[in-house]
Amino acid sequence: MKEINDLNLPEDLKYTKDHEWAKLSDGVITIGINDYAQDQLGEIVFVELPETGDTFEKDDEFGSVESVKAVSEIYMPVAGEITEINEGLEDAPELVNESCYDDGWIIKVKPDDMSQFEALLDKGAYIDMLKG
Amino acid sequence: MNRHPGTSGLIFNEPNLWEKSRRGRCAISLPKADVDRVELDQNLTEEAPELPQLSELDVVRHYTRLSQWNFGVDSGMYPLGSCTMKYNPKTNEVQAARQGFAAAHPLAGDEYSQGALKLMYNLEQYLGSITGFDAVTLQPAAGAHGELAGMLMIHAFHAKKGKQRSKIIIPDTAHGTNPASASLCGYESINIKSGKNGILEPEDVAAVMDEDTAGIMVTNPNTLGLFESNIKEIADIVHSKGGLVYGDGANMNAIMGIVKPGEIGIDVLHLNLHKTFSTPHGGGGPGSGPVAVGKILEPFLPVPRIVKELDSYRFVVNRPDTIGRIHTFYGHFSIMVRAYSYILSMGAKGLTDASKLAVLNANYIKESLKGTLNLPYDMPCMHECVFNDAIQKENHITTMDMAKRLLDYGFHPPTVYFPLVIEGSFMVEPTETESKEDIDQFIDAVKAIAKEAKQDPETLKNAPFLTKVTRLDEVAAARKPCLRG
């Protein structure tokens, strides 16, 4: 397990208290689980994805990540419609461990309310939360 | 200290049965046909199934060898405890194999099945008496099915009142199947966290209980092996808003003869016969999950019900408020015979003693290993105690490493990574049947492993070494499962 100081938490992402990350680009938000979550879960063996076109409220469970140890739900950082899912995870769930911010992204969302994105934690606030 | 039971010995390789098969080899000889051979209509026939052809000795050696690769409660201590299976006294098997029971046919009719009906009727009475409830159904196929039956009755109860509710409260220390059972009834789970001592706080229940909430599902003793001591107050809160209390009685084995759930505010309770009444389970064998209810839910019990009239017994199906039939015929009858045998052979005092010993053994292990392993909730436990790997993490040793290493010492690993409330759970349930000598050997083995974790962590990471199959690549198995032989 990594120490907090060893975690890779890019400055340009937003974070949630449930350890998802979110990145805005051209009005679409890409969402995945962060380095802390993938490290805590250990080797991920299955990612349950929603379907394109599904809509969710903020904090709704939209899928789950399964490791050898446990199954963890993943939650919507913002309300919106799923515009794309990372189908590559079906055959290669290990991408979430190997590259949680790039190849291991999970969903893309068209947000209903951009202010929900703005209200997510930045790196500093997320680390403060981890330190409790 | 005693020597550990684990050792190495000659283990046989064994191919699968199809590889051993040789054309024409046969283990049985059927009696000569005493009727004329008749050809079947071609539309009813097809190619014979491809079955392996083997001699009796081939088959005996095959299964004997496979059994030697395995770890069973008949060969060593099995601290998975009753969640998987506690020791099944052999007399239960003898009784279940009696011709009258083993050959009973479900379509024989009430008049030819009086013994079987009497056994079921009496078992219902005994289970009702042990749990403090008015009526019991034996139909559910296993615990989770019992949960569903219980929740369907709660659902039917609210429907009958004229106003269905939409939610159900489920604490984080309940069994994981609870939300699934509630969800099948259309209820949304409202999850609440247990308090700082690992048990539910009444104010947390009061904060979410309202008149749109059907009730609460409480596992007591809970999955941390702790007794929910606020249960009566919690039940009062739920009842005051018109809700019902579902009791997950999977852990009833810790409180038989001590606490009657029917007397502490619970309205409906399921039992797992394999956990509490020593019937076989695990490996996909048949389970049995009877459900006990108080007077208010009795009209909703599944049919058929068994009624006793004078000295005879019959099935009754005509009950207007029933949730209906939930299993073909009457449930898993041969499992009921085993539980009945267990109850009669133990007697009331014996059952109470079994619970007391289960609790004593778990507390003995908890106190003996406290400090060797981290104990997140340091308070008296019921039939199981939950440690974790917080101390060993300093040496990058996990619960899984220690669990695997226990096999080399001759013990089956305990339950790991459950309950989820604790990270890296290492949950030990010795059950009532282990002797002090065996428990001491187990404690000694865990202490030796904790020492290895400090001095030689690399060894632990590759354990086990003495088993037929050593450390499996669980990640590869889960990512790329091989689903065909």
The tokens for B172 are 């984080």
Q: Which residue of B has its CA nearest to A68?
A: B475
Return d(Cα B290, Cα B261) in angstroms, integer.
14
Closest CA to A97 of A69, A127, A130: A69
Instruction: Report, as an integer, the average pLDDT of A36-47.
Output: 93
CA distance B165 to chain A (A): 21
The single residue listed with the structure tokens 């690992």 is B198
| Interface probe with A: pick from B188, B471, B479, most Cβ of A within 10 Å | B479
What confidence score (pLDDT) does residue B174 get?
87
Interface check for B474 against chain A (CB to CB < 8 A): the answer is yes
What are chain A's domains? 14-127 (2.40.50.100)
What confidence score (pLDDT) does residue B282 get?
62
The tokens for B419 are 């309950």
Q: For residue B2, is pLDDT > 70? A: no
Q: What is the mean pLDDT of chain A?
A: 94
Q: Coil, helix or strand for B469?
A: coil
Return d(Cα B38, Cα A15) in angstroms, integer.
75
**Taking CB atoms and an 8 Å limit, are B474 and A70 in contact across chains?**
no
Interface check for B393 against chain A (CB to CB < 8 A): the answer is yes
Count CB neighbours of A75 within 10 A.
Answer: 18
Interface check for A68 against chain B (CB to CB < 8 A): the answer is yes
Return d(Cα A131, Cα B348) in angstroms, integer.
53
Q: Which residue of A has its CA nearest to B422?
A: A70
CA distance B222 to chain A (A): 19
**Taking CB atoms and an 8 Å limit, are B475 and A68 in contact across chains?**
yes
Residue B417 is nearest to which of A1, A70, A94, comparing CB atoms? A70
Interface check for B417 against chain A (CB to CB < 8 A): the answer is yes
- Which residues from chain A sit within 8 angstroms of residue B478, using beta carbons? 45-46, 66, 68
- Which residues from chain B sit within 8 angstroms of residue A96, using beta carbons? none
Interface check for B479 against chain A (CB to CB < 8 A): the answer is yes
Return d(Cα B8, Cα B466) in angstroms, integer.
6
Q: For residue B81, is pLDDT > 90? A: no
Q: For residue B284, is pLDDT > 80? A: no
**Taking CB atoms and an 8 Å limit, are A45 and B479 in contact across chains?**
yes
Q: Which residue of B has its CA nearest to A40?
A: B423
- Which residues from chain B sit within 8 angstroms of residue A70, using beta carbons? 417, 420
**Taking CB atoms and an 8 Å limit, are A46 and B478 in contact across chains?**
yes
**Taking CB atoms and an 8 Å limit, are A45 and B478 in contact across chains?**
yes
- For the whole model, what pTM was predicted? 0.86
Instruction: Report, as an integer, the average pLDDT of B150-167.
Output: 97
Count CB neighbours of A96 within 10 A.
Answer: 24
| Interface probe with B: pick from A2, A38, A45, most Cβ of B within 10 Å | A45
pLDDT tens profile B138-154: 999 999 999 999 999 99
Virtual CA dihedral for B217, B223, B224, B230, nearest 10 degrees? 20
Q: Which residue of B has its CA nearest to A42?
A: B475
Q: For residue B389, is pLDDT > 70? A: yes
Virtual CA dihedral for B467, B472, B477, B478, nearest 10 degrees? 110
Instruction: Report, as an integer, the average pLDDT of B396-406.
Output: 96
- Which residues from chain B sit within 8 angstroms of residue A93, using beta carbons? 479
Interface check for A94 against chain B (CB to CB < 8 A): the answer is yes
Return d(Cα B282, Cα B55) in angstroms, integer.
29
What are chain B's domains? 95-345 (3.40.640.10), 348-479 (3.90.1150.10)
Instruction: Report, as an integer, the average pLDDT of B53-80.
Output: 93
Q: Which long-range contacts (CB under 8 A, 24 or more apart) does A39-43 make?
A: A39/A1, A39/A2, A39/A7, A40/A1, A41/A65, A41/A67, A41/A69, A41/A70, A41/A72, A42/A67, A42/A68, A42/A69, A43/A67, A43/A68, A43/A94, A43/A97, A43/B475
CA distance A68 to chain B (A): 6
What confidence score (pLDDT) does residue B485 get?
60
**Taking CB atoms and an 8 Å limit, are A69 and B474 in contact across chains?**
no
CA distance A105 to chain B (A): 18
- Which residues from chain A sit within 8 angstroms of residue B393, using beta carbons? 1
pLDDT tens profile B198-240: 999 999 999 999 999 999 999 999 989 899 999 999 999 999 9
**Taking CB atoms and an 8 Å limit, are A45 and B393 in contact across chains?**
no
Interface check for A45 against chain B (CB to CB < 8 A): the answer is yes
Q: Coil, helix or strand for A105?
A: coil
String of DSSP letters for B386-418: EEESTTGGGGT--HHHHHHHHHHTT----EES-
Contacts of residue B58, defined as CB under 8 A and 6 or more positions apart, other chains included, come to B20, B25, B27
CA distance B153 to chain A (A): 29
H or E element in which residue B309 lies: strand B305-309
Residue B417 is nearest to which of A1, A66, A69, comparing CB atoms? A69
| Interface probe with B: pick from A68, A90, A97, most Cβ of B within 10 Å | A68
Q: For residue B13, is pLDDT > 50? A: yes
Return d(Cα B356, Cα B370) in angstroms, integer.
21
Interface pTM, i.e. ipTM: 0.72
Query: What is the interface size between A and B, counted as CB pairs within 8 Å?
Result: 17
Predicted confidence band at B1 (pLDDT cuts at 50, 70, 90)? very low
Predicted confidence band at B313 (pLDDT cuts at 50, 70, 90)? very high
In contact, B395 and B454? CB cutoff 8 Å: yes
String of DSSP letters for B231-282: HHHHHHHHHHTT-EEEEEGGGGGGTTTT--GGGTT-SEEE--HHHHS----S
With both helix axes pointing from N to C terminus, report the angle between B177-184 and B143-161 in degrees, rounded to the nearest 10. 40
Of residues B433 and B82, the one with the higher pLDDT is B433
Residue A43 is nearest to which of B393, B420, B475, comparing CB atoms? B475
Residue A93 is nearest to which of B393, B420, B479, comparing CB atoms? B479
